[in-house]
Amino acid sequence: MRPLTEEESKTFFEKLSKYIGRNIVHLVDRPDGNYCFRLHKERVYYVSESIMRRATSVGRDLLISLGVCFGKFTKTRKFKLHITALDYLAQYAKHKVWIKPNGEMSFLYGNHVLKAHVGRITENTPEHQGVVIYSMADVPLGFGVTARNTIDIRKLQPTDIVVFHQADVGEYLRDEDSMF
């Protein structure tokens, strides 16, 4: 476990900012205590200072996880967000997509979001923008990247892809073994 280097922080924040924009500030500077990002086995964990201090007494090979895992660095040093970060992404998301009940299961099995399934979308969402996906009852289901901007979506066929799938809560069941 160690703090991120400046370069790592930069790639990490860059990826995070695609979903929550400037709201990263609220993660870094919290009024309810000190929270920090720590790297452990190439994974980035968002953890409170007190828990991080306690975890120092656990050996590196024995420590499995601490705090909330935000994602991991790939071997080419790119950053990949994991579904475990959804709580924070959903809280601070800038652009959102709500999907209709008939599209929920399809998305949760790992498919892209089709136009027919989109219930609502944040106005003025640009193309290739990170979005958080909610059910119509405002339950966060996952996140993805828009294929078109809001205006262009109107012209699409019902079977065309609107949001590319990146992660969904179905992974908790599908990738249970490799998740942690």
Partner 1 sequence: MDVSTQLEVKQQSLTVEKAVPLEFDLALLAGFDINTLDEERLRQNTDKYLKECSRNGTQLIINEIFKLPTNSTEDGTFAELPDQITKIPREKPVPKPKPLTRWEKFAKLKGIQNRKQSRKVFDEATGEWVPRWGYKGANDDGTNDWLIPVPQNAGINATRHTRNLEEGARGADQKSAKEELMKKISISKSATASIGRFDKPLKGEPKIKGVKRKFDPLISDMNKEKEANLNIVNGLFGKKDKSDIINARKARNMA
- Ranges within 116-155 binding partner 1 (CB under 8 A): 124, 126, 149, 151
Q: With binding defined as CB under 8 A, does residue 157 bind partner 1?
A: no
Counting beta carbons within 10 angstroms of the beta carbon of residue 44, is it exposed (0 to 12), middle (13 to 18) or buried (19 or more)? Answer: buried
The answer to whether the CB of 105 falls within 8 A of the CB of 147 is no
Q: Which residues of 22-38 are buried (b: 16+ CB within 10 A; e: fewer)?
A: ebbeebeeeeeeebbbb
Minimum Å gap between C-beta 100 and partner 1 is 25
Cα–Cα separations (whole angstroms), residue 32 to 13, 49, 52, 55, 84: 21, 11, 16, 20, 21
Distance, C-alpha 69 to centroid of its chain: 10
- Ranges within 58-117 binding partner 1 (CB under 8 A): 75-77
Q: Which stretch binds partner 1 (CB under 8 A): 25-33, 64-72, 114-122, 162-170?
A: 25-33
Q: Which stretch binds partner 1 (CB under 8 A): 21-29, 138-146, 156-164, 168-176?
A: 21-29
Question: Which residues contact partner 1 (rule: CB under 8 A)?
Answer: 1-3, 5-6, 9-10, 13-14, 17, 21-22, 24-25, 28-29, 34, 36-38, 49, 52-53, 56, 75-77, 124, 126, 149, 151
